[in-house]
Amino acid sequence: MAKGKNNDVIILGIESSCDDTAAAIICNNLIISNEVASQAVHMAYGGVVPELASRAHQQNIIPVVDLAIRNAGISIDQISAVAFTRGPGLLGSLLVGTSFAKGFALARNIPLIEVNHLQGHVLAHFIQERSVDSRKPGFPFLCLLVSGGNSQIIIVRDYLDMEVIGQTIDDAAGEAFDKCAKVMGLPYPGGPLIDKLAKEGNSRAFVFAKPRIPGLDYSFSGLKTSFLYFIRDRITENPDFINENKADICASLQETIIQVLMTKVIQAAKETGIRTIAVAGGVSANSGLREALLNAAVKYNWEMHIPPFKFTTDNAAMIAITGYYKFLKGEFSSHDAVPYSRVSLK
């Protein structure tokens, strides 16, 4: 079935910042296809291997885009513009999506739109799904963005007007989950596994030191180091310590990370007076964090926005929706745009 009337804006979104090759088609703000090829190759290495990631993107990009276009039921000439993740992320990975998007835009003679991956995570809240009547956050709102590479608190004043008011000074929350999981011998990515195991454990079994960072910034490197020493010392006493206490360790670690995240969100809401709160990024899939946010929403009278799981981890729908809002403002990129590995939101 062909979609797209004359006034419809149809955006092809491309995401390749880390280890997921993703493509999505959005018609105005309605998502009509959303495809992702994940890369299992990294599992054996306990983390993403950049060189392998770029090769896998190179393999996956054309089949994934082809699938996204076919599943959207549109023809290629209905696409109004192509939006791609310019950064932050792994440079070799970003180069694949960037080069593909440029080639596509050039071949189709359509605008090219660069997207900041972090902005994409935030705007995932505005993706409309067919037959899902979801509430969208009103402006201004606060967004807790927690992923494998970032932990930030952002004031979102409009679709393309965001200000970071707090961020990690070292590791991200997702990194803390993944690196501590690695210390426990769990496979990558450790976050979802810790979440699963924590459900069976006692979150008060062990106490880990929390950082004392002024303002709204975060820090997770101290927790990671103290966790490493804690495990090392306990294993010296009892070589089976991890196996015998796996669920309790995970529950206690997860609870500590959640408390660190929540303290600053509560502080940010108090300081700004903003009571519409949203969460975004891979770590927002964490069931404990979701519960803590919902409890805080009741306690502090917040309007809480938590996106569906599929829009929390890396996906191209969030790149397409950001591309849509940039398209409406005529914010197009030139063909000499190069990817950037590190960048914050302005």
Q: Measured from the CB of residue 344, what is the shortest distance to ligand KG4 in angstroms?
A: 14
* Amino acid identity for residue 145 in this structure: L
CA 20, 22, 27: angle at the middle one, nearest 5?
A: 155
Is 149 near ligand KG4 (CB under 6 A)? Answer: yes
Please, which residue, 97 or 191, has the CB nearer to ligand KG4? Answer: 191
Q: Under the criterion CB under 6 A, does residue 177 sit at the interface with ligand KG4? A: yes
What whole-number distance in Å separates Cα of residue 35 and Cα of residue 120?
16
- Which residues does residue 167 pair with via DSSP β-bridges, in sequence order? 152
Q: Which string of x and - marks every residue 4-33 that binds ligand KG4 (by CB under 6 A)?
A: --------------x---------------
Closest CA to 280 of 160, 156, 169, 184: 156
Amino acid type, 182: K
Q: Which is nearer to ligand KG4, 36 or 74 (CB)?
A: 36
The correct pick among 192, 201, 211, 339 for binding ligand KG4 (CB under 6 A) is: 192
92 lines the binding site for ligand KG4 (CB under 6 A) = no
Please tell me whether residue 283 binds ligand KG4 under the rule CB under 6 A. yes
The two counts, helices (H) then strands (E), for the chain are 9, 10
Instruction: Give the pairing of strands 151-158 and 141-146.
Output: antiparallel
Nearer to ligand KG4 by Cβ, of 201 and 282: the residue is 282
Does 171 sit near ligand KG4 (CB under 6 A)?
no
CA-CA distance, 323 to 52, in Å (whole number)? 28
Q: Rank residues 69 and 117 by Cβ distance to ligand KG4 and give the closer one.
A: 117
Token duo for residue 33: 């296809």
Residue nearest to ligand KG4 (CB): 282
Instruction: Name the CA dihedral angle for 258, 260, 265, 266, rounded to a multiple of 10 degrees.
Output: 100
Least distance CB 110 / ligand KG4 (angstroms):
27
Per CB under 6 A, 90 contacts ligand KG4? no
Q: Which of 15, 35, 195, 255 binds ligand KG4 (CB under 6 A)?
A: 195
97 binds ligand KG4 (CB under 6 A): no
Q: Give min distance, CB of 9 to ligand KG4, in A.
A: 26
User: Minimum CB separation from ligand KG4 for residue 281, in Å?
Assistant: 4
Q: Kindly state the number of chain residues that form the binding site for ligand KG4, as judged by CB under 6 A.
A: 19
Report if residue 166 touches ligand KG4, rule: CB under 6 A: no
Beta strands 20-27 and 10-15 are antiparallel
Q: Among the candidate windows 6-14, 32-40, 146-154, 258-266, which touches ligand KG4 by CB under 6 A? A: 146-154
Supply 144's token pair: 């807790």
DSSP line for 41-72: GGGGGTS--HHHHHHHHHHHHHHHHHHHHHHH
Reduced 3-state DSSP string for 286-311? CHHHHHHHHHHHHHHCCEEECCCHHH
State in angstroms the smallest separation of the CB of 191 from ligand KG4: 2
For ligand KG4, the closer of residues 285 and 317 by Cβ is 285
What is the CB-side half-sphere exposure of residue 43 using CA atoms within 13 A? 5
10/172 with CB nearer ligand KG4: 172
By the criterion CB under 6 A, which residues form the site for ligand KG4? 18, 147-149, 174, 177-178, 189-192, 195, 281-283, 285-286, 313-314
